[in-house]
Structure 1
């Protein structure tokens, strides 16, 4: 039977946070931010293992104690220049180490989405485990969207938000499909795994997520994530 594995690409620097420390290690509720994603994934009953893909030069990871996740957590120091490179390198390394099979499901999750819940994760797995393609957590766009026309930040026109969804992670695809998609997408600009799969002509399924599963990108996002996690820990 196919197994489920999670992969967290964590080789980036998070430059938009304006901090010298890589974003995944910024303190969040007295833990490095990446801890919260790892914890949710490792605690899931369906997930057999969690791969964290680090930059070869990463000097921060070993400053923390990860022993509580030792049964499931595997570190792969093969991160690339882009997110897609890190995911593909991690998948390749996992296969070379005989950790995954071609038909296994891979759930790629951002280290900077620390507010993922077990409910969202279970919903994604349950809805996609029998799907022919796979898919991703996402939420319908609620805000009005404006297209900018020039460097003066003038509105060119208002975009219709009908049928528009905001992509989240995890994004879940079979190992072979995801690997093939990422290898084929090297000549195009893809910002997520679903985009690479779409480029092959497939149509990933959108699974309704939660607005709390946002990506920490700017300093104010970190403060909001802190409040959310504190409230969950102290209901």
Structure 2
């Protein structure tokens, strides 16, 4: 394994409106801790993660109430209007630290069940890759395309279809360039890979565990709690 630095980036400026709660989903409680604290701990407790940059909304009233360990190598960037803006701000913040051109693993704030084994798999699979890649899961369900009035238009072949997840791992400077150009061109950047694809890169797909869910709807919270219980403290 090459001697490399690996930094985590967590965009955490979203409002999570689909959760229908009085606070963003990353600040909801999960096993007596916020979802965000679970996520940060999963990343920063990994031995190969050098540090983490989190993008927080400028008017966020909840962040200051978290008990962040003093020894966490944590940098703060200002969140943007869109996820892509927050990630770019975090990359700029990291570049200001003059850390060179490390790998960055961008991870959703609302994915608290990430396993260390999946981080290991990504690092071992991508550390010598020229592009980088994303954690993803092959689609196993039958996939339907809908009409405008909610009827089945066709069945889409699921072969070679994957469900994108995070972390998404790319070089700092390449991702920074890709996001900057995609945003300037008005491209709908739904994840970091789509920005890289805009520049013509083909990120590699790395199969991850299905329990790395993103908390989006109210029913996702008890499911995440079940997964954390199943994983236990040592099964990361």
Q: TM-score, normalised by structure 2?
A: 0.94
TM superposition outliers: structure 1 runs of 4+ over 4 Å: none
CA distance in 2, matches of 1:160, 1:124: 27
How big is the shift at 1:100? 2.9
CA contact (8 A) 1:133 1:203 kept: yes
Give unmatched runs, 5+ long, in structure 2. none
Distance 1:229 1:202, change over 3 A: same
Which of 132, 156, 160 in structure 2 is aligned with 1:159?
Answer: 156
Report matched runs for 1:31-180 at 5 Å: 31-67=33-69, 70-76=71-77, 78-96=78-96, 98=97, 100-101=99-100, 103-150=101-148, 152-180=149-177
Q: What secondary structure sits across from 2:140 in the alignment? A: coil
CA contact (8 A) 2:52 2:73 kept: yes
Name the structure 2 match of 1:196: 195
Give unmatched runs, 5+ long, in structure 1. none
CA distance in 1, matches of 2:188, 2:205: 21
CA contact (8 A) 2:76 2:90 kept: no
Name the structure 1 match of 2:228: 229
CA distance in 2, matches of 1:136, 1:82: 20
CA distance in 2, matches of 1:117, 1:19: 27
CA distance in 1, matches of 2:4, 2:230: 36
| RMSD of Structure 2 on Structure 1 (CA) | 1.3
CA contact (8 A) 1:29 1:230 kept: no
- The answer to whether the aligner puts 1:20 opposite 2:22 as a matched pair is yes
How big is the shift at 1:52? 1.0
How big is the shift at 1:233? 2.9
Q: TM-score, normalised by structure 1?
A: 0.94
Q: What secondary structure sits across from 1:163 in the alignment? A: coil
Query: How many residues get paired?
Result: 230
How big is the shift at 1:99? 5.0
